[in-house]
Every structure is written in C-alpha cells, then in structure tokens.
Structure 1
Amino acid sequence: MTVTNADRESIRHGKINEQPLRPRPAYPSWAIKLVMAITGLLFALFVVVHMVGNLKIFMPAENGVAAMDEYGSFLRTVGAPIFPEESILWILRIVLLVAVIAHIHGAITLNSRSGKSRGKFKRTKLMGGMDSTATRSMLITGIILLAFIIFHLLDLTMGVQPAAPDSFEPGAVHNNMIATFNRWPVTIWYIIAMLALFLHLYQGIRLAASDLGITGRRWRAVFAFLAAVVPIVVVLGNIVMPLSINLGFVS
C-alpha cells in the first residue's frame, strides 16, 4: 500500500512510509491462480478419461486380445499413419508434464506469498466441514498425488522395479495391471492416493470458478455441481478396479 497526499511532517518523523509494503512480484497472484485453475481443470479432464480407460479391465477379450491391451495399442498408434507411432501420446505427455510443473510452481509460490503476508498469525474460524478439511489439506493432498504419479509411472508405464512387478512386460497392459494390483501394499497405496485425489479435486474445481473470474450464479452452480459429482465418480471408478483385481474378481 502506498500513501497518497501524505503529511510530510509525519513522513519526516517516520510515522508514515510512502514505500510499498512489499516489492511488486514478477507475476501477479491472480495470473498464477489463473494458470493453476486451467492446469487443474486439465488434470480433472485427464483423470476422468484415464478412469474410463482403466474400466476397460472389466470388458471381455475379443479375438483373444484383452480390451485393456487393445486400448493401450490405440493410445500408442493414435494419429498413425499420418503421424509416427506414439507421437500424439508423447505430445500429450509433454503437455501434462508442463502443466504439472506449472501447477506445482504456482502452489509453492502462492503458499510462500500467503505465509509472508500472514506472518506469525494463523488462519482461524474457517468455514468448517468438508470445505475446511479440503482447504487445509490442499498442499498435503498435492504432495501425496505427486508421489503417487511418480510411483504410477515407474510401475505401469516404465516398469522400473521394485515399483513394478517382476513379470512386467511392455505393452501387456492387462497382465501388468493384474500383477501390480495383486500386491496388497500397491492396492492400499492406490486407494490412499484416490482419497487424496477426492479432496484435491473437490476443492480445486470449486476454486477454479473464482480463479477464472466466473461470477455468474448459474456458472458457479455448474462448478459446484461438478465439484460434488466428478470427484465421487472418479474415485469410485478408480478404487473398484484395483480392489476387484486384488480380491480375484478380475484375472
């Protein structure tokens, strides 16, 4: 804050300071929140599509080819022969990687600025209930999800042991999923990550409406509806899959 039309005598005696309370940041907070909202909605769309793809584990095989393997082949060959195999897939991976980096950078920056502005004073008398829980846990759930993403890539994408099972085989998506979720620690870790995803999606979609500058009552109601429905659908769809494999309903 800068004082305008200040009393020069007060300034001379140090009672008023014309200097800003803090240096102007290179990137305003509203711009960082906008980037986080866009990247967050991109992740929400991705996890919905990813969940739908994972549910193909329940579909029967056709001509001896598992539905998951056919789906994995489609992802690797989409765009061919116009584009080289896996080129579209790698473009999507790069876009998601850039979005992850931007999202993490924004979260760290905003958390740092919030801490500096608040100083030694802590937030009190939050709204309570689910909103309060989700708000307080955003940073924690974000860290859990980052750790899960790294593990998930090492496990089912790259096949790096010990994250991946010994029987990992590139391209054999169905058998790799069966092998990895037959391990109870992996299944439990997956469920914990999905619960963190529930809280993160719930609060993230709600915040996106404000960060995108949406003020209309109808659109805010749409975002509130999505914040309530999308996390439940995604988490239930993602939890039923590893549990079904681990309990022997899918083989």
Structure 2
Amino acid sequence: MVGPPARPAVVAVFRPRLSNARLKMTMAVTGIVFIAYVAVHMIGNLKVYLGADSMNDYAGFLRELLVPLLPQESVLWALRVVLIVCLVGHIGAAWMLTRRARAAGAMRTSRGHRVVWWRSFTSRTMPTSGIVIGAFIVFHVLDLTVGTTGAGGFRHPETIGGDTRYFAYENLVAGFQRPAVAVFYIIAMVFLGAHLMHGAWAAINDLGVTAGRSRRVGWIVGTVLAAVVMVGNISIPLAVMVGVVS
C-alpha cells in the first residue's frame, strides 16, 4: 500500500517549530521588560502623594516628551506598541509551553523523575495571575486612559489659555473612590506581585544564570522589587479610600 504523501519541505520552512528554550527565552526577556515598566509606572503613580500638580505635570511630561521634535504622544505610543508586542510574545510563549507540557503528560527531570510543578503559591497561581492581570490591564486602560467606564466624571485633557491641562490626579482619585474598583485593583496587585516574584526566578533560570551567588542576588532583587511594586501600588487605593489622598 502506498502511504500518505510526504508533507512538502517548504511547509517546514514556513512553519518553524520554536524550541522550548527559545520560548522560555522569549518569556524571560519580555518579562524583564514588564518588570521594568511596572516599576517605573509605580514611581509615577506614587506622585499622587505629592499632590495634583505633581502628578498632572508628570502626565503632561509623558505626553509631550520630545515635542516638538516628534508629534505629541509619539514616545508614549511607541512604548505602548513595544508593550503590546511583548505581551503577545509573552502570552504566546506561555500558551505553547503549557500545551507542550500537557501533551507530554508531566514535566520530568533529566533523570526521569516527575517534577513537583506547582511547588509554591507563586508558581501555582501563574496561569490565574496572568488572566487576572490581563483583565485588569484592559479595565485599567479603559478606566483611566480612555475614560469609558464612568470613572466619576472622567476629565480629558483641556486646552486653557494656550496651555494643555491634564487631570491624571483627579481621574485616579475619582476612580478609586468606587470601592469595587479599588478592591479589584488591590486584588490585581496581589496577583501581580506573585506573578513578578515567580517570573523573576524563572527569568534567572531561563537566561542561563548558573552561578550560585548571582542566582541568589537575582532572586533577592526580583523578590524585593516585586514586593515594592505590589505594596506601593496597593497603598494608593487604600490612601484614597481612607481619605489620605482626596
């Protein structure tokens, strides 16, 4: 009997199979980009404690960076594009690795012994935290960037006397004065902290850091940074709810 025709070699050219190592490297690099972004973003958010003028001026700085060399918000949109590309790569790599792990039946060590995959809270919650963070990002953008979720009278930038005024402070305070939104934000930040902690450790492994001291330093730095980001961000809705920021 004649078997089914062999698949043309050209198919393999246009459908290359990414190795697990490359997928893990993709997750590590994009994860580092996200860690850097959320750290800087938290610093910007903490300007809420310095008052409306400080936070609104910071919002204007981001939108007018390199103006008039580049059009307004060019740098901000370039950053958004980079983050979207990283997000697609991160999710895609995670999805493919998960599918392969499930298809294999279990993750095994080189000696053939089954690995305790869900060894810690952070590792067990990685898929869940990823979903929660993704949902939070969508809502957060609609709520405090686009203003389509009814954030207590969202105020878009206004041009007054030839100058553009921004209302990032007012919008943030109005947003967190809704208890459900504040609680959702706090929950999302807990998941983000767990995701960052485990992600930092995974990135160290996937980037091939083998020296014991370097691994310990990397793990400590990643864990501390994740904790600082989590606590710093959670403090903001709490401060709004108790009236420290108003």
TM-score normalised per structure 2: 0.84
Question: Distance between the aligned counterparts of 2:245 and 2:205, measured in 1?
Answer: 42
Report if aligned partners of 2:152, 2:175 keep a CA contact under 8 Å in 1. Answer: no
1:168 corresponding residue in structure 2: 154
Is residue 116 of structure 2 the alignment partner of residue 126 of structure 1? yes
Correspondence for 2:134 among 110, 132, 146 = 146
How much does 1:227 deviate? Answer: 2.6
Is residue 106 of structure 2 the alignment partner of residue 116 of structure 1? no
Q: Aligned letter for 1:169? A: R
Is residue 78 of structure 2 the alignment partner of residue 106 of structure 1? no
Larger radius of gyration: 1
Correspondence for 1:190 among 178, 185, 199 = 185
Question: Distance between the aligned counterparts of 1:94 and 1:151, measured in 2?
Answer: 18
Which deviations, in whole Å up to 9, do the C-alpha atoms of 1:108-135 show, x marking residues without a partner?
A: 111000000116x9x977388xx52111
Report if aligned partners of 1:159, 1:165 keep a CA contact under 8 Å in 2. Answer: yes
Report if aligned partners of 1:76, 1:89 keep a CA contact under 8 Å in 2. Answer: yes
1:218 corresponding residue in structure 2: 213
How much does 1:230 deviate? Answer: 0.9
Which deviations, in whole Å up to 9, do the C-alpha atoms of 1:155-187 show, x marking residues without a partner?
A: 0011112xx414001231011001000000000
How much does 1:231 deviate? Answer: 1.3
Which deviations, in whole Å up to 9, do the C-alpha atoms of 1:186-244 show, x marking residues without a partner?
A: 00000000110111001000010111111122321221112320111011100011110
Is residue 198 of structure 2 the alignment partner of residue 203 of structure 1? yes
Identity of aligned residues (%): 40
Q: Secondary structure at the match of 1:85?
A: coil
Question: Distance between the aligned counterparts of 2:21 and 2:115, measured in 1?
Answer: 24
Correspondence for 1:85 among 48, 61, 72 = 72
Q: For the aligned residues, what is the CA RMSD? A: 2.2
**Distance change >3 Å, CA 136–CA 83, structure 1 → 2:** same
TM-score normalised per structure 1: 0.82
Q: Aligned letter for 1:210? A: N
Question: Distance between the aligned counterparts of 2:29 and 2:64, measured in 1?
Answer: 28
The size of the alignment, in residue pairs, is 220
Q: Aligned letter for 1:26? A: R
Q: Secondary structure at the match of 2:234?
A: helix
Structure 1 stretch 49-58 or stretch 216-225: which is displaced more? 216-225
Question: Distance between the aligned counterparts of 1:103 and 1:125, measured in 2?
Answer: 23
Structure 1 gaps, min length 5: 1-22
Report if aligned partners of 1:126, 1:132 keep a CA contact under 8 Å in 2. Answer: no
